Every structure is written in C-alpha cells, then in structure tokens.
Amino acid sequence: MYAGVKYEVLESEFEKSFEREPFSYSWGFFAYDDTHGAAGGGAGNFSWFDSKGELVSFLQKFPLLAHSLGTTDAELFEKAQGYLSTVTADTFDQKAVDEFNQIISGVEQIQWLGQFSDLLSGESEFAQGLRKFFSASSQPLSKIQIPEFAEFLRNWGR
C-alpha cells in the first residue's frame, strides 16, 4: 500500500499518464528520479492531462512518483501532500514547483511543467533543448512534425 492506494493502482495511474497523447492532453510535466544513478536516478517521464486542474489533482493524490516508492517514507509523503493541498491550478506556477521540488529533493524533481504547445514553440531552455535534440534545431516545430515529436516525448528520459 502507498498512502492507502494499492501499488498496482498507483502504477496503473502513472502508466496512463505516461501513455496519453500530448496533443490530446494539453497539460503535462516532466519529472525524473533524483536519486543516485546506481539506484535508478535520472530516469524520467512526461505525464499528460486534459487540464492543469487535472494535473494538480493527480499530484495531490500521488505526490511522489511510482518509480520512487522504494526511497519514500510516510513523513516525506505527508509533507509533500500537505504542501500540494495548499495549491490550486491557478497557483501551481514555477515558484510552487520550485518549493515542491525542495520538499521532494533526493527522491524526484519536476523539471518542466506546462502546455504541450510550450514544447512545440516555447523559448524555455528545456523546450528549445528538446526540439534541438529532436530535429537538430531549436526552432518551433511545424504541424507535420507534431505526431513524431509526441512519440519522441513518450520515450524521452526513460
């Protein structure tokens, strides 16, 4: 059990968030394991949702990612969940992500949070880096590249 949720349910919910098509689910985040490499650190995934509200609700229910279960404890879970209970879709901005990342440091980190369109044409270092890795250019992607880029993101960080 994980905070009253069976591991199988938790794993299933995370898998669903990883597998959703980002052009259908406009809000997402990229999180990675913040443990040392020998313990599987560094691996990450994008999770996708219909709305920012759905994303925040998901994190409030599952404040620590499934692949981090072996390193979590009840006190950290409660602290993370307590912090997330104070945020809403309107207030979960970069400052809130940074504060949340401090709480869960050593377990995982949210590296990016935003809309899929931000990755297609945004100016952030993260978005430009992904586009450059995908197409050898940091320029905004064309409509024709979106399906292939979405598939690329599904495998990014794994």
Please write the tens of the pLDDT for every residue from 24-65.
668 999 998 887 655 555 778 999 999 999 999 999 988 876
Range with lowest mean pLDDT among 23-37, 81-95, 101-115, 139-153: 23-37
Q: Does residue 2 sit within a domain?
A: no
pLDDT value for 2: 55
Hey, which residues does 2 pair with through a beta bridge?
Answer: 5
Please write the tens of the pLDDT for every residue from 14-26.
888 888 888 766 8
* CB 35, CB 106: distance < 8 Å: yes
Q: Residue written as tokens 């309107």? A: 90
Q: Does residue 33 sit within a domain?
A: yes
When divided into structural domains, the chain yields a total of 1
Q: Does residue 1 sit within a domain?
A: no
Range of the structural domain that residue 75 is part of: 7-155
Other residues' Cβ atoms within 10 Å of the Cβ of residue 58: 18
pLDDT value for 31: 92
Q: Does residue 29 sit within a domain?
A: yes
Closest CA to 77 of 1, 17, 157, 16: 1
Q: Does residue 88 sit within a domain?
A: yes
Q: Does residue 51 sit within a domain?
A: yes
How far, in Å, CA of 12 to CA of 89, rounded?
23
